Amino acid sequence: MARKQIAAANWKMNLTYQQAQSLLDELFAHKIELSQDQYIALGVPFPYLSLAVDKVKNLDHVGIAAQNCYTQKSGAYTGETSAEMIASLGVQYVILGHSERREYFLESNQMLTEKINIALANGLTPIFCCGEALSIREANAHNEYVGQQLQESLFHLSADELKKIVIAYEPIWAIGTGKTATAEQAQEMHAHLRKVLADQYGLEVASQIPILYGGSVKGSNAKEIFGQPDVDGGLVGGASLKADEFLQVIAGLK
């Protein structure tokens, strides 16, 4: 069974409503050719989820992602958004554990366990982010560190539950630092992540989990990166804010 190939956009905290509308219109003014196993997931800010869901409702293999959710079902948590609310809009995906959430909002592996559980309970597909900072990479502790992120947030899941997860690897050390990760380095870490999954759940399960690369993917490097055997697409930041650039990224799916 072929793994899903996913071009996932993460708009982060960018664009006004009008700009979001224009970007979606520009993106889908093009006829995007996707094969049976290829998908697009657009991670848009909370205020634009309904707009985005409406824009893609008649498109096959295109889904919308929230960029976060809270750990609780409902209650007195002013300013938070529950997985149930997100799912009720017709959203399919939720990005969890992004490096910015971990760094700026101090999200722990334990908190992400709770978010994973509540997302799955509400029928959302988590895009679970993992990755290491430069100090960890330079200490040659990156394999253990990222493996521990998977272990502490995902290994309580059954094999059937794990198969509903998408993993995104972010080499934090190569984002905005002037250092660049090569396609070979991406493949090396993705192969390691798949081995971590295989050691826990078996090769058959591990081979079904899409692992996306989140290290400054753009139109010019997408094809080379996505061509690596264990890289199943990308979680794309800046390049997803320009329609022509993101279309090139989508075209890079193997």
* Domains detected in the chain: 5-251 (3.20.20.70)
> If you search the block for the tokens 């982010």, which residue do you land on?
129
Dihedrals phi, psi of 168, to nearest 5 degrees: -125, 120
CA atoms within 13 A on the CB side of 204: 2
- Check residue 66 and give left, alpha or beta (phi > 0: left; psi -120 to 50: alpha): beta
Out of 80, 98, 188, 204, the active site residue is 98
Q: Which backbone phi and psi does 63 adopt, to 5 degrees?
A: -135, 165
Q: Is 170 a catalytic residue?
A: yes
Q: What is the pLDDT along the chain (254 residues), one digit of tens a residue?
A: 589 999 999 999 999 999 999 999 999 999 899 999 999 999 999 999 999 999 999 999 999 999 999 999 999 999 999 999 999 999 999 999 999 999 999 999 999 999 999 999 999 999 999 999 999 999 999 999 999 999 999 999 999 999 999 999 999 988 767 676 889 999 999 999 999 999 999 999 999 999 999 988 999 999 999 999 999 999 999 999 999 999 999 999 97
Of 100, 132, 170, 190, catalytic: 170
SS (H, E, C) 211-227: EEECCCCCCCCHHHHHC
Among this protein's residues, is 61 annotated catalytic? no
Q: What is the pTM of this model?
A: 0.96
Burial (CB count <10 Å: 0-12, 13-18, 19+), residue 119: buried
